[in-house]
Chain A
Amino acid sequence: MRAKPILLMTAHRLAILAYIAFALFPLYWLLKVAVTPNDLLYSEGIRLWPSRATLDHFDFVLRHSAFPTFFKNSLIVSGSTAVIVTILASLSGYALSRFNFRGKYWLVALMLLTQMFPLVMLVAPIFKILSPLGLTNSLTGLVIVYTAFNVPFATFLMQSFFDGIPKDLEEAAMIDGATQFVAFRQIILPLTLPGIAATLGFVFTAAWSELLFSLMLISGNDQATFPVGLLSFVSKFSVDFGQMMAAGVLALIPACLFFLLIQRYLVQGLTAGAVKG
């Protein structure tokens, strides 16, 4: 009687474990290469862990490369993009979810349309637009471009979260004496925290790992973000894998911290108990 459920559960757990191992293996390999001394990189064959581990690559990356600058730039760009996009997307998502206005259908269609272009097509025109404004080779320029590209999707994301919050709640607030904006700020927004967290996380990682625009719009190490910075470990004659991987590991840290901070909101459905029994 009981053997079958246990067997099924074991199989289920094993399948999940296998998937996790598969998904995380590249990260593991990143770490492994980062701690492998250069002389062992090609001489030991394929091993799960090098016979001798070292932190020299980390030391070099932090002290002798421009990586801290890349890191700081990336943090500024991704952080600002995430915050700006989330604010804009909250407002526009709320509008799309709650208001009926002329041209709403066309607005949504236009926003969808922006998501259909391969970004490569837009590199040249965007460069042409930003260049006379002095926004090439500038972090501000990158933030503007990233914001523009992320707002439509983030808006749809936020709209779906707002759609999930019963309209009764803000009507009750409005009868209690709130204006629509106060109801939005005090009642709806706190309930959308999971959605806001998800949007923040999504936009942050998208901006954090963006390479194409940052490569095209930024020249010189001062303003480069870290994906571009990683390329500096590739020289004409060799690739410094150890240092590149060490930089990669370091670049993972903020993303991990960020998700650690917001995971509480991601998993929690705050609206439980709002309406009905």
Chain B
Amino acid sequence: MASIDIANIRKSYGIHPVLHDVDLKIGDGEFVVLVGPSGCGKSTLLRMIAGLESVTSGEIRIAGKRVNELAPKDRDIAMVFQSYALYPHMSVANNMSYSLRLRKVAKEKIASVVSGAASKLGLDPLLERRPRALSGGQRQRVAMGRAIVREPKAFLFDEPLSNLDARLREQMRAEIKKLHKDLGATSIYVTHDQIEAMTLADRIVAMNGGFVQQVGSPLDLYDRPANLFVAGFIGSPGMNFFEGTYRNGQSPRFETKGGVTIPAQVHAELADGASATLGIRPEHVEIGTTAPDALKATVDLVEPTGFGIILHLSFGKAIFKAFTNDRAFLKASGEIPVRLPPERLHFFDADGNRV
């Protein structure tokens, strides 16, 4: 196990930069999730750590040792691919032991390590099978088995669950978390699924357009998103945004472009009349309230999810969502009273940064 330091990493393909000055320290045994939309550079960063992509500038250190110039085989890391990348002409046992055989580990040692990993992952009855005779979930497990037999310095996961169906994904997510608890291995996990990021990570690195947007614990990112991108990316259904103007004075408030006035708390960083974006999570919108400062919103659509209800609402042209567990709202229609609690509001300045 080891720490991984990423210092001022840049990557360009020709003249096209894909990563800009990424700085990241990953502690020994930490589970870090890189999350962001497709093309944000998260997979490229992971592949640079693995040694599959060259580093344009900056430095990567594993366990304090610079690895920029090291071949993947000399970095002592294991990687689980999105496609699993199992060797089709080898049995499950041989797939798992390939790295050990390359290192000329003694046969008895290999047998015991493989059977240990297989029983941990429930692969015992499948050891003699070829990958094509396995289901998606089983292949996924073999890919994990291949990674853990070696006890590498770090595990890299490149969207390992995105080829599985929703139920299996949930199950494997829990298994990965359990495995990490057992092994305590430094892990870097790439995903575009914010639920995976929230549930697995010790720390999340949110990325967009080749820039790191925010680094923090899952709840940090949820409670105090650093900018509009993180606010919109983390959470499902996503955060509601209203564009408008912040008004200071006796009663600080926010006036949306549609002319709705929303009471707010004092935000010293915003000048009176500054244009800003207000954000509120759907689960924080109070509906059906009898509070005196309630606003009127029109119900456009009701989506029951079983667990709760998502209401599509609007203030004139400004649409937003509310989430509630109260089934009384299944039949909501027309206008309902809505309150946006001032303590739950997020404010972002004209550049999209949190204030």
Give the contacting residue for B83; candidates A178, A182, A275; CB below 8 A. A275
Report whether B131 and A273 are in contact in the complex, using a CB–CB cutoff of 8 Å: yes
Residue of A nearest to B135 (CB): A277
Cβ-based interface call for A274 (8 A): yes
Q: Which of B1-54 contact A (CB under 8 A)?
A: 50-52
Cβ-based interface call for B268 (8 A): no
Instruction: Knowing A172-B79, A174-B73 are in contact, say whether A275-B130 is a contact too (CB < 8 A).
Output: no
Give per-residue flags for B78-114: 1 if the beta carbon is below 8 A from chain A beta carbons, else 0.
Answer: 1101011111110000000011001100000000000
Report the separation of the CA atoms of residues A145 and B52 in the bound assembly, to the nearest whole angstrom. Answer: 40
Cβ-based interface call for A83 (8 A): no
Report the separation of the CA atoms of residues A260 and B336 in the bound assembly, to the nearest whole angstrom. Answer: 78
B84 to chain A, nearest CB (A): 6
Give the contacting residue for B81; candidates A168, A182, A190; CB below 8 A. A168
Give per-residue flags for A171-194: 1 if the beta carbon is below 8 A from chain B beta carbons, else 0.
Answer: 111111111001000010011000
Instruction: Knowing A174-B73, A175-B72, A177-B102 are in contact, say whether A187-B87 is a contact too (CB < 8 A).
Output: yes
Chain A residues within an 8 Å CB radius of B71: 174, 179
Report the separation of the CA atoms of residues A80 and B71 in the bound assembly, to the nearest whole angstrom. Answer: 37
Report whether B79 and A272 are in contact in the complex, using a CB–CB cutoff of 8 Å: no
Q: Which of A138-195 contact B (CB under 8 A)?
A: 166, 168-169, 171-179, 182, 187, 190-191
Chain B residues within an 8 Å CB radius of A272: 88, 132
Which applies to chain B's interface (DSSP): helix, strand, loop or mixed? loop
Chain B residues within an 8 Å CB radius of A177: 73, 99, 102-103
Cβ-based interface call for A270 (8 A): yes
Cβ-based interface call for A102 (8 A): no
Report whether A176 and B102 are in contact in the complex, using a CB–CB cutoff of 8 Å: yes
Report the separation of the CA atoms of residues A275 and B140 in the bound assembly, to the nearest whole angstrom. Answer: 10
What are some 6 contacts across the A-B interface (CB < 8 A)?
A175-B52, A178-B73, A273-B86, A275-B83, A277-B136, A277-B163
Report whether A168 and B85 are in contact in the complex, using a CB–CB cutoff of 8 Å: yes
Cβ-based interface call for A10 (8 A): no
Report whether B131 and A175 are in contact in the complex, using a CB–CB cutoff of 8 Å: no
Report whether A274 and B135 are in contact in the complex, using a CB–CB cutoff of 8 Å: no
Instruction: Knowing A171-B72, A175-B79 are in contact, say whether A273-B99 is a contact too (CB < 8 A).
Output: no
Interface residues contributed by chain B, number (CB under 8 Å): 33
In the complex, besides A179-B73, A273-B131, 11 extra interface pairs with C-beta distance below 8 angstroms are A175-B77, A177-B102, A271-B88, A272-B88, A273-B88, A273-B139, A274-B87, A274-B132, A275-B84, A276-B83, A277-B163
Instruction: Knowing A273-B130, A277-B164 are in contact, say whether A176-B99 is a contact too (CB < 8 A).
Output: yes
A158 to chain B, nearest CB (A): 18
Cβ-based interface call for B247 (8 A): no
Q: With a 10 A CB-CB cut-off, give which of A169, A174, A176, A277 has the most chain B CB atoms.
A: A176
Chain B residues within an 8 Å CB radius of A172: 79, 81, 85, 87, 146
Chain A residues within an 8 Å CB radius of B72: 171, 174-175
Chain B residues within an 8 Å CB radius of A178: 73, 102
Chain B residues within an 8 Å CB radius of A169: 85, 87
Report whether A175 and B78 are in contact in the complex, using a CB–CB cutoff of 8 Å: yes
Q: With a 10 A CB-CB cut-off, give which of B51, B86, B103 has the most chain A CB atoms.
A: B86
Report whether A176 and B81 are in contact in the complex, using a CB–CB cutoff of 8 Å: no
Report whether A270 and B83 are in contact in the complex, using a CB–CB cutoff of 8 Å: no
Report the separation of the CA atoms of residues A272 and B133 in the bound assembly, to the nearest whole angstrom. Answer: 10
Chain B residues within an 8 Å CB radius of A273: 86, 88, 130-134, 139
Report whether B163 and A176 are in contact in the complex, using a CB–CB cutoff of 8 Å: no
Closest 3 CB pairs of A and B: A273-B132, A277-B136, A275-B83
B77 to chain A, nearest CB (A): 7
Report whether A166 and B83 are in contact in the complex, using a CB–CB cutoff of 8 Å: yes
Report the separation of the CA atoms of residues A176 and B136 in the bound assembly, to the nearest whole angstrom. Answer: 21
B128 to chain A, nearest CB (A): 15
Instruction: Knowing A176-B98, A179-B73, A271-B88 are in contact, say whether A171-B81 is a contact too (CB < 8 A).
Output: yes
Report the separation of the CA atoms of residues A89 and B87 in the bound assembly, to the nearest whole angstrom. Answer: 23
Report the separation of the CA atoms of residues A277 and B146 in the bound assembly, to the nearest whole angstrom. Answer: 18
B165 to chain A, nearest CB (A): 9
Give the contacting residue for B85; candidates A171, A182, A270, A277; CB below 8 A. A171
Chain A residues within an 8 Å CB radius of B99: 176-177
Chain A residues within an 8 Å CB radius of B164: 277
B206 to chain A, nearest CB (A): 26
Report whether B52 and A174 are in contact in the complex, using a CB–CB cutoff of 8 Å: yes
Report whether A173 and B83 are in contact in the complex, using a CB–CB cutoff of 8 Å: no
Give per-residue flags for B284-307: 1 if the beta carbon is below 8 A from chain A beta carbons, else 0.
Answer: 000000000000000000000000
